[in-house]
Structure 1
Amino acid sequence: MDNETTTRRIPMALCAAALGLAAGMAHAQRTPLLVYTALETDSMKAYKTAFEKANPDIEIKWVRDSTGIITAKLMAEKANPQADVVAGVAASSLALLDQEGMLQPYQPKGFEALTRTYSDSKNPPAWVGMDVWAAAICFNTVEAKKRGLPKPETWKDLAKPIYKGAIVMPHPASSGTGFLDVSAWLQMWGEQDGWKYMDALHENIAQYQHSGSKPCKAAGTGEFPIGISFEFRAYQVVKSGAPVELVFPKEGLGWDIEATAIMKTTKKPEQAKRLADWFASKEANQITSNWWAVVAYPGVAQKLKGIPDNYEQLLVKNDLNWAAKNRERILAEWGKRYEGKSEAK
């Protein structure tokens, strides 16, 4: 090797080493943001990839569980909160955190473009909506035919004796979907008639499962003919080719909002606000529209197979603040009456 070649290669090697060091330092300088979530695992990767591409200096660190578990975890940590941001968690749960003084109100960039009724009514809002999710019934036509079960059309149909042992639904203390069902029935019919309905429904329940998705998955595989679930999972099960028809009961659908909020105690407020900004963006809403029939950004939602055109009109009148204030009392009463059929944890 001649001296000229050696001379050329030394600077090149130094340059490559410097670039590698710079890249390593840039990666090391990424700020981790701890985000508690109840998002479906199907969607978490898409959100993380898109956000980090737009914000390469921030890394999302998810802590994921069902809504009820995440809510209980946040309340247990009230004296020393760990999360920086809560995203994809029920607005009724975030309203509870707000009532406890745990959230930092913030109006994200572009907020004025969102449907106002799907976020906290205060200015600035304590939480900002991502999408609406609502109850749906997954009905396995093959298994139902074997058992001679008619397709239900209403919630009250499910209380008929013919469905005894044929129904699974989410546990309201573990699942946000289970809680929105219970809350809706109590608000639709009043507490006396709501509990009376649930007493009758309980006679037909095979199991209360600790996930909003699991009952529809169980209906899809034929484990049970009927699963009370929500439209995201119902749509996915139908899309997979399972012999399932979706039922949207005529009385109306319980619903809640997946939302984003910043914890008051975060030590990374700038990065937390950037994540809140991104979740309010059209880009994030376009990702959300792959799975949800109603999203916060108008005009972005897509037509999803099996979801009726009047879906949004089926949503019942729902007081999320009432649900938050009465959550503990409702769950205590529900547990006294029905805990015996709960799935083992």
Structure 2
Amino acid sequence: MLLAASAIALLPAMQARAQSGELVLYCSVGEEWCRVMSEAFSRETGINVLMTRASSGETYAKIKAEEGQPRGDVWWGGTGDPHLQAAQEGLTEEYRSPVLAELQDWAVRQAETSGFRTVGIYAGALGFGYNSELVDDPAPACWADLLDPRFADDVQVANPNSSGTSYTMLATMVQLMGEDEAFDYLTQLHNNISQYTQSGSAPIRAAATGETAIGIVFQHDAVAQTVQGAPIVTVAPCEGTGYEVGSMSIIAGGPNPDNARIWYDWALSPAAQELGASAASYQVPSNVNAATPPEAPRLEDVRLIDYDFATYGSSETRTRLLARWDAEIGSLPQ
């Protein structure tokens, strides 16, 4: 893929700033997209990428555990809430990329909310997908429909401690319903849950193979299964839903800070953001000059809530909600 003009202009400066040949990348999107990005960056800059893939919650916990002796340079991808918590806790460092001027408003707001310790790189709406060969009419169209007893032991969602996708669901329900009502809903939903997975996208892969009927995921992950030929129908819940601003952060005190900034600028370029589609990732990119994949769910067609990223990405709120989930939902018998 040809580099867009802005990326071409940035590359000589990027290469000139490099002081070593390595970048340690913590990646929180799908394995294939992590690999595509890492390989493209290495080809274009000559910097060797040492990549580790893990879900958002797992990566936050890893960075927190390494505080004071960080091993990673950049955390790329994953939902924005744990990135904001890391920023609040001083685990990531301020950086204002020259590419900021090219970004969507929601990506810039993410940067401003964090004191420029993180930035938005893509967006995607929460929802669910169902296997049309396993689900009879009436098809589920709303969050409330997932409580139907006919779906007993036939719904999967991730654990919000490990998965940013599932934490987005938890925070979405609290904002849609109120906190106590949201936990009542999740308690009822538990009766239909067959498994709380570690990865946020695992539930829809299970639905695609017929292991379960319904997977609660970001809508673009459901679309990806349909594109690959699975009988998955994507649903934007009728009551409204939350969304993610997938984010990127430079880890404070990482071993290769110059290369971290090189990655950061490159990953915000149109050409780098367009690589997602080649890895069957159909999020909406944050650079206004990057082409949105035609398969990507249109955010303007989804009833989105006014998701409060500052509150639900704060250390206090996120820690409290996860502790309550552990106490009231995670402790329930399966």
Question: What TM-score, normalized by structure 1, do the two folds share?
Answer: 0.83
Return 5+ residue gaps in structure 2 as ranges. Answer: 1-18
SS of equivalent residue, structure 2 residue 98: coil
Q: Distance in 2 between matches of 1:96 and 1:307?
A: 27
Does the 8 Å contact 1:293/1:301 carry over to 2? no
**What SS class does the counterpart of residue 168 from structure 1 fall into?**
strand
RMSD value, Cα: 2.2
Deviation at 1:124, TM superposition (A): 6.3
Secondary structure at 2:78 match in 1: strand
CA contact (8 A) 1:35 1:85 kept: yes
* Residue deviations 1:150-186 (CA, integer Å, cap 9, x gap): 3111111112223222211111111111110011111
Q: Which runs of 4+ in 1 moved over 6 A?
A: none
SS in 1 for 2:135: helix
Equivalent of 1:171 in 144, 148, 159: 159
Query: 60, 74, 78: which is aligned to 1:71?
Result: 60
261, 268, 282: which one aligns with 1:280: 268
Aligned counterpart, 2:41: 51
1:131 touches 1:288 (CA, 8 Å); kept in 2?
A: no
> What letter is aligned with 2:45?
N
1:20 maps to none
Matches within 5 A, 1:40-189: 40-56=30-46, 58-118=47-107, 119-121=110-112, 125-145=116-136, 150-189=138-177
Residue number among 204, 214, 239 corresponding to 2:192 in the alignment: 204
Cα distance change, pair 73–303 in 1 and its aligned pair in 2 (3 A): closer
- The structure-2 alpha-carbon separation of the partners of 1:122 and 1:215, relative to structure 1 and needing over 3 Å to count, comes to closer
For 2:48 and 2:256, the matched residues in 1 are separated by: 12
Q: Displacement of 1:309 after TM fit?
A: 6.6
Distance 1:67-1:122 versus aligned 2 partners, 3 A rule: closer
Segments of structure 1 that go 5 or more residues without pairing to the other structure are 1-28
- 1:335 paired to 2:326: yes
Task: Work out whether residues 88 and 258 of structure 1, in 8 Å CA contact, stay in contact via their aligned partners in 2.
Answer: yes
CA contact (8 A) 1:289 1:300 kept: no
Q: For residues 104 and 308 of structure 1, what CA distance do their matches in structure 2 show?
A: 32
Question: Match of 1:297?
Answer: 287
Q: How far apart, CA to CA, are the structure 2 residues paired with 1:334 and 1:272? A: 35
Distance (Å, rounded) in 2 between the aligned partners of 1:138 and 1:328 = 28
Which amino acid is 2:128 matched to? I
Q: Is the 8 A contact 1:36 1:83 kept in 2?
A: yes
Give per-residue Cα distances to partners, 1:111-132, cap 9 Å, x unaligned. 1011132232159611111101
Q: Which has the larger displacement, 298-307 or 174-183?
A: 298-307
Partner of 1:10: none
Q: Which residue of 2 aligns with 1:243?
A: 231
* Greater Rg by CA: 1
The TM-score with structure 2 as length reference comes to: 0.86
Equivalent pairs, count:
310
Amino acid at match of 2:111: D
RCO comparison, higher one (Cα < 8 Å, 6+): 2
Q: 1:183 to 1:242 in 2, by over 3 A?
A: same
Q: Secondary structure at the match of 2:247?
A: strand
Whether the 8 Å contact between 1:217 and 1:237 is mirrored in structure 2 is yes
Contact 2:157 2:217 in 1 (8 A): yes
1:203-229 Cα shifts (integer Å, max 9, x gaps): 221221111111101111111111111
Q: Deviations over 1:72-106 (max 9, x none)?
A: 11111123221111111322111111111122111
1:159 and 1:201 in contact (8 A); partners too: yes
What pairs up with 1:317-328 in 2 under 5 angstroms? Answer: 317-325=306-314, 326-328=317-319
**Aligned partners of 2:130 and 2:208: how far apart in 1?**
8
Within 1, Cα distance between the matches of 2:177 and 2:310? Answer: 18
Identity %: 27
CA contact 1:32–1:59 (8 Å) conserved in 2: yes
On the 8 A contact 1:208/1:342 being kept in 2, the answer is: no
Looking at structure 2, the residues matched to 105 and 259 of structure 1 have their Cα atoms a distance apart, in angstroms, of 14
Q: Partner of 1:232 in structure 2?
A: 220
Q: Is the 8 A contact 2:34 2:53 kept in 1?
A: no
- 1:45-98 Cα distance to aligned partner (Å, 9 max, x none): 221122122211x11111211111111111111232211111113221111111
Deviations 1:208-255 (A, max 9, x none): 111111110111111111111123321221012111111111222222
Q: Which residue number in structure 1 is paired with residue 11 of structure 2?
A: none
Correspondence for 1:35: 25
- 1:315 has 2:327 as partner: no
Please state how far the C-alpha of 1:339 moved relative to its aligned partner: 1.7
